[in-house]
Structure 1
Amino acid sequence: MIRIAVANQKGGVGKTTTAINLATALAATGWRVLLLDLDPQGNASTGLGVSQAARHHSSYDVLMGEATLEESVVATRVPRLDVVPATQDLSGAEVEMVEFERRTHRLADALDKAPVGRWDIVLMDCPPSLGLLTVNALIAARQLLVPLQCEFFALEGLSQLLQTVERIRTRFNPDLSILGVALTMFDRRNSLSRQVAEDVRACLGSAVFETVVPRNVRLSEAPSHGLPALIYDLRCSGSEAYVRLAKELMDRLPAPVIVEAA
């Protein structure tokens, strides 16, 4: 199973929107996708139409060892896309896990026990911080996808994130690599957006995806309807960008190995 952490410690960069719509696009191509919501706000869960009443188990229960991934999964309205939802309980998880052995590996251990062949890929939507929840995701992942808002302060946060990734790689997870940086919230009318995009490409080169996700009202509206933008309005500029981004993403990933579940 391919494991990707979607992370950026800066909030409001389109991280959850990216996770939801890439998961939807991958599922539409036939991949069996699991979206793991690790943000206590639970926006990825809400954006996929999972009500609070439907969250019988959550990523909190998985991290606490009180439920397995399989027991916590909720099927979404998108065929082949499942989600492990988040609840507010997750906000206390970092404090509670301090006393646990292998507290940084709780998520990796849970993913290792996932049923073989159930999913081809898991996307982990991380909270906007570099705390223990994000560290768990980075240790469990094999690749990191970084959504980056085309604004000046986003560049400062990127360097901090890359330093954290290097520490994780050195101490815990040498297999972790940067899958790519996705430029989001691009405003063509704003010269600063263009400048930031140019600076990021000059710094990171081919690590930056060619596709740029624009600012788009329909992307903002979709979560209030409990739908990914790709279903809410496939023809809007934001959805079209995420379809292109998904194609680039798949080009950088190995094809899923089809394993029949027992």
Structure 2
Amino acid sequence: MCKVISIANQKGGVAKTTTAVNLGIGLARKGNKVLLVDTDPQGSLTASLGYVEPDEIPVTLANILTAVINEEEIDMAAGILHHEENIDIMPGNIELSALEVTMGNVMSRELILKDYIDMMRERYDYILIDCMPSLGMMTINALVASDSVLIPVQAAYLPVKGLQQLIKTIMMVKKRLNRKLKIQGILLTMVDYRTNYAKDISSKVHETYGSRIVVFQNTIPMSVKAAETSAEGISIYAHCPRSKVAEAYRNLTEEVLENEK
């Protein structure tokens, strides 16, 4: 039974892509077949996995979704890239920006990505969708296609404040477009527990949301090592397996798997 998880937050720089990469590869290391889908026109996920020029990739998510819109037959292997750490990637690039504009005129436009994801479910145990930093049409498509949403939030005042709008959007999608959608949990990222500020923010998240939304027990520490992995095109497990951030993502993977039981 495939589980589709969107990793979403309209705020940029909260470790969405880092979480998608390391949770995805963490799940693969546990024996799962995993597909990562890059819905960001910046192609951050694609670049982070070693494809440093996403705009030069011949077949990407934009081509696949265009085929869905035009009701063309789709080869399910088309566009899929294979990473050395045993995951598959559906790359994204700048063409998604133009596609998002086009989608505004398409009937049932919120269901376009779902049509593709539903075709791929039988091939994978987990599909992780890395969302763009906005609440636009592509993010709505990701939420409609998903079973759950994982929300990375930087342990700082403004990112936490922006949570309210995101949760409101998720609830709207759940009510109108995807009844089964649930919030997998809020993940605190870039946490520096040496400061009282980070501790205060963490307490505020638990206090405000903890009674109705899961707040992951595991948090992701502030780390230069995590940023370095993007340049290397590999996960934190391959880059620095004994680091605190590698341990944090291992623990997060275990927590996600435990929540499925």
* TM beyond 0.5: yes
- Alpha-carbon distance change, 71 to 227 in structure 1, aligned in 2, over 3 angstroms: same
Which among 86, 111, 114 is matched to residue 120 of structure 2?
A: 114
Q: Does 1:236 align with 2:231?
A: no
Aligned to 2:151, what secondary structure does the other structure show? Answer: strand
Following TM superposition, by how much is the alpha carbon of 1:48 offset from its aligned partner in structure 2, in angstroms? 1.1
Match of 1:204 in 2: 209
Q: Does 1:132 align with 2:134?
A: no
CA displacement, residues 55-84 of structure 1 (integer Å, 9 cap, x when unaligned)? 3211111221265553121001112x1000
Following TM superposition, by how much is the alpha carbon of 1:231 offset from its aligned partner in structure 2, in angstroms? 1.1
**Which is worse superposed, 4-13 or 43-52?**
43-52
Aligned to 2:162, what secondary structure does the other structure show? Answer: helix
Match of 2:47 in 1: 46
* Aligned 8 A contact 1:68 1:110 in 2: no
- Return the alpha-carbon distance in structure 2 between the equivalents of residues 24 and 91 of structure 1: 27
* Aligned 8 A contact 1:48 1:76 in 2: yes
Which among 100, 106, 109 is matched to residue 106 of structure 2?
A: 100
- Return the alpha-carbon distance in structure 2 between the equivalents of residues 114 and 18 of structure 1: 22
- Return the alpha-carbon distance in structure 1 between the equivalents of residues 226 and 120 of structure 2: 32
- Return the alpha-carbon distance in structure 1 between the equivalents of residues 49 and 175 of structure 2: 35
RMSD: 1.5
Q: Does 1:60 align with 2:40?
A: no
- Return the alpha-carbon distance in structure 2 between the equivalents of residues 211 and 69 of structure 1: 35
CA displacement, residues 83-136 of structure 1 (integer Å, 9 cap, x when unaligned)? 0011111122210111212111001011122262x2111000000000001000
- Alpha-carbon distance change, 145 to 46 in structure 1, aligned in 2, over 3 angstroms: same
Following TM superposition, by how much is the alpha carbon of 1:14 offset from its aligned partner in structure 2, in angstroms? 0.6
Q: Does 1:153 align with 2:154?
A: no
Unaligned runs of 5+ in 2: 69-73
Aligned to 2:40, what secondary structure does the other structure show? Answer: coil
Match of 1:36 in 2: 37
- Return the alpha-carbon distance in structure 1 between the equivalents of residues 113 and 244 of structure 2: 35
Which among 247, 253, 261 is matched to residue 260 of structure 2?
A: 253
Match of 1:83 in 2: 89
Aligned to 2:77, what secondary structure does the other structure show? Answer: helix
Following TM superposition, by how much is the alpha carbon of 1:237 offset from its aligned partner in structure 2, in angstroms? 1.1
- Return the alpha-carbon distance in structure 2 between the equivalents of residues 7 and 69 of structure 1: 25
- Return the alpha-carbon distance in structure 1 between the equivalents of residues 150 and 45 of structure 2: 16
Aligned to 2:185, what secondary structure does the other structure show? Answer: strand
Following TM superposition, by how much is the alpha carbon of 1:26 offset from its aligned partner in structure 2, in angstroms? 0.4
* Aligned 8 A contact 1:146 1:180 in 2: yes
